[in-house]
Structure 1
Amino acid sequence: MTTPQADAEERAMRRALELAASVGPQVLPNPRVGCVLLAPDGSGVAEAAHRGAGTPHAEAAALALAGTAARDATAIVTLEPCNHTGRTGPCAQALLDAGVRRVVFAQDDPNPQAAGGGETLRAGGVEVASGLLADEARALNPAWSRAMELGRPFVTWKLATTLDGRSAAADGTSRWVSSLAARRDTHRLRALSDTMLVGTGTVIEDDPRLTVRAADEAPLERQPLRVVMGERDLDPGRRIFDEAVVGGSLHLRTRDPRAALAALWERERRHVFLEGGPTLAAAFLRAGLVDEVVAYVAPMLLGDGRAAVGELGIESIAAALHLDVTDVRVLEPAAPGEDTNLRITMRGTA
């Protein structure tokens, strides 16, 4: 049987999760976090969410709103209060300084540089409980959480393919293997990342802009970093290098996926959306550096043409790379006459 205190804390945690979810993905490289402060009688004192790098963390923002009313309060937080000084000070110390009596957090902080807030609070005499709605909290920041555990950016590989595994026809034409609905869905997924990555071959052949656009084709205000990797020189006039597009661009002169991810990690990139051609995709797959696969499958057959992925060094069915399907969606036509597409999401190789 639950107690009134436990019920109030669970309600507050669900509210904190709502606050965090309302912010959207623009907080990367930081996680989405919500905080609710409860008075000793269980009533609400203040609430806040983290709004992005350089802005106050959720706990600090809620404490600022509460003022002296934070003393003896219970702080309900979706992520373990941070224990380090980055762009802002440590939230664990801020909670101690404010006189908070109890802290309940959902998810342990997987970032080794920031973890330990719970122990700091306990050492300071604060009651601490963890694990309340932990799965829901982790689901708020799945790519960020996994990136922190891996020590490198989380990699989502997106591909568009025919039923027989072709990304382009024999004459090289590929517009449009995927439907309008699938392309719009791709832009939605792009917006969840902080980095778009392609190879030099894609830039030379397709000259992509790699922007994130709304259904009306208007670019979104927030754009990921546009990155091309490879050793070949590129024409600076290619659209990926357009300085008028927000978000910036970068040419990583390496063919090594690990080196590319390490360089992006140093730039605080946490979620890479891989949209390169079959050669780049194969390089990441061979290296075991694909965490998620999103495949848009069109109900068409080409029989010949460019494969969706390049050579993987697999010579027998026993050595096949198996993926775990986590979601399958039917994308209904968004325009007259177009095909229905499937979106299949899978856990990758890492």
Structure 2
Amino acid sequence: MNDSESGKRGIFGKKDPAMPPESSRDWRLIEKLVMSLQSEQRRSRRWGIFFKVLTFGYLFALLFVIRSPIDGVDTVTGQHTALVELNGPISAEELASADNLVSSLRAAFEAEDSKAVVLRINSPGGSPVQSGYVYDEIRRLRQEYPGKKIYAVISDVGASGAYYIAAAADEIYANRASLVGSIGVVAGGFGFTELMEKLGVERRLYTAGDNKAFLDPFTPERDEEVDFWQSVLENTHEQFIAAVKAGRGDRLADDERLFSGLVWSGEQALELGLIDGLGSASWVARELVGEEELVDYSRGLSPFQKFVEQLGVSFGEGVATRLLDARMELR
């Protein structure tokens, strides 16, 4: 038996059957598939570890943000002018709520090193209730701290409820192009009765009390309801006018248009006695208070709230609020 013949025999002295070419290709494909699966498993494990580390890092960062202090006052280095910001719509759900503004104003007045307080305003107005709370608190703080003045400084706009609050200050300043005033009250909504008739929709509302469905937008208006609501608006308007007169006194010009709801430029407002002069917050601090350094006592969003707002949640919530809300506002 020669080597070539012995090489073709198996371990039992029998010849191994020759592997057909198709079977060889199948084994190579299986081998490649197994190697590919192993590689995919290793890749999946690496990505799994990466995402686990990323998740833990995110959770730790979120925990750090939540535990961070909600409010922070600028570093105080001695005598300074306290600053409180009033930005945006005045509402219990907004940053410019009475709770936030009152707590900021109290901190500014209570600070031993604050020589005066500047309330910097950029707001179109809002809730008469929230505005009234802040107005009353400013008047109270002025009595409690008679040696510490508060100046209202209007930047772009200080209208309606924002001007209501400003009227409580010792003095009011604005830019020549600022929008000031709008001393009036507005409330609005929608009526859908004709649309419902066209669509064939029937309103079914059950109440106990003759006026429980007061000004319901899905039923026709009733003259007595409109008259009553108008009396509420006029009463609120009178409260607004009384507050402005109490705050501004003899500085107001004798002009019947003052309380008509019109808005004025800063220069016009100066002529009408709605403001005391033209100037910015830094100008007031430097020229009137004598302490140029402004220290911000405003209560702002917590880091977590800022994080949520950046995700767009606040935007969606704000759109929904404005579409569905029909509250009475000072503007």
TM-score (norm 2): 0.28
Which of the pair is proportionally richer in strand?
1
For the pair shown, which has the larger CA radius of gyration, 1 or 2? 2
Structure of greater relative contact order (alpha carbons < 8 Å, 6+ residues apart): 2
Which of the pair is proportionally richer in helix?
2
TM-score (norm 1): 0.27
